[in-house]
Amino acid sequence: MKAVRIHQHGGSSVLRVESAPAPVLGANDVLVRVHTAAVNPVDSLVREGVFKFSDRPFPWTLGWDFAGTVVDLGTSGTSLSLGDVVYGRPALDRDGTYAEYLAVDPGEIAPAPRSITLEQAAALPLVTLTAWKALFDIGELKPESTALIHAGAGGVGSMAVQLAKHRGARVVATASGDGIDLAASLGADEVIDYRNEEFAARGRFADVVLDTVGGDTLEKSYGVVVPGGKLITVAGAPDPGRAREHGITADTFVLDSNGPRLAEIAELVDGGVLRPVVTKTFDLDDVQEAHDRIDSGRTRGKIVLRVA
């Protein structure tokens, strides 16, 4: 099969489009023909060797977002059927989705939303699962509370704005440029242009803060959480001491795969509650350009690879 693999860590130039062996199904796997795969910042971190999750020898196939069609049920005993169109975020510790075929545990996938394209479906799993876990499982966001979503026009941020609004929270997002209008169109009650306003100058106003930026943004976010509130970051390591000083909790997490939750997300998409934001689609052969775009740190929504 055709796949994108890395044989060493490094910049986007280490991404090779090449012929690779088709995956061998494990006892609990199904085989999916991949149509589209999304590109995420974590892909670059794995490529560069910053995020290490496996001792497997090279080469590795990257990618952990996809939409595709089930073509082999193996011996998994799944309720899925041949020909089902599915989407998911597979486990990080095995070869990923930048390939024509993917062996995946059916518990990590779900039927894809029916009302959107496969490019849009591939853009959903990782960022929406991340936003859901941060806001609801860890942040325990409640209706009528205030959520501050950093980078509200980015991949995770764009879905977090919509989920928080659906929960009934007051949503404040940070963004810049055309991201301001995008975040507002997704449901943000207020968008702070971080280039012209210092969000930390507002004092303590947010019950839950979701940081997807890290660095100075994370450091300044402790001071905007109300006493007893929660700061969740997916872009750094929180400081428990600083959190205690402010009377708040601060957490981060490693995302787990979650097929049943993806089924819930698909229902919300088909019900018109959530919409994925895809700003650019590349052919698989142009994967280096796609990674360069992600590495710039200035993308809106998601970037998707057309595999099939």
CB 257 within 8 A of CB 236: no
Place of tokens 């229902």: 267
> Given phi > 0 = left and psi -120 to 50 = alpha, else beta, which region is 135?
alpha
We find that the CATH architecture of domain 2-124+277-306 is Alpha-Beta Complex (3.90)
pTM exceeds cut of 0.75: yes
Place of tokens 């929504």: 301
Q: How far apart are CA 113 and CA 180, in angstroms?
A: 27
CB 223 within 8 A of CB 203: yes
CATH code at 127-251: 3.40.50.720
pLDDT tens for 164-197 read 999 999 999 999 999 999 999 999 999 999 999 9
* DSSP count for the chain of H helices, then E strands: 9, 16
Q: How far apart are CA 204 and CA 57, in angstroms?
A: 48
pLDDT for the residue numbered 298: 77
Tell whether omega for the bond before 59 is within 30 degrees of 0, i.e. cis.
Answer: yes
Residue ranges per structural domain of the chain: 2-124+277-306, 127-251
What type of residue is 83? G
- Sequence-distant (6+) residues with CB within 8 A of 173 are 148, 149, 150, 151, 152, 153, 157, 161, 183, 188, 190, 191, 192
Per DSSP bridges, beta strands 30-39 and 101-104 are: antiparallel
Give the residue ranges of DSSP H helices in the chain.
41-48, 118-122, 125-132, 155-167, 179-185, 215-221, 240-246, 259-270, 287-295
CB 136 within 8 A of CB 165: no
- Sequence-distant (6+) residues with CB within 8 A of 137 are none
Largest Cα span, the chain: 58
Buried b (16+ CB within 10 A) or exposed e, 220-250: bbbbbbbeebbbbbbbeebeeeebeebebbb
**Spans of the chain below 50 pLDDT:** none
Q: Could you tell me which residues are beta bridge partners of residue 103?
A: 31
CB 122 within 8 A of CB 98: no
pLDDT for the residue numbered 192: 98
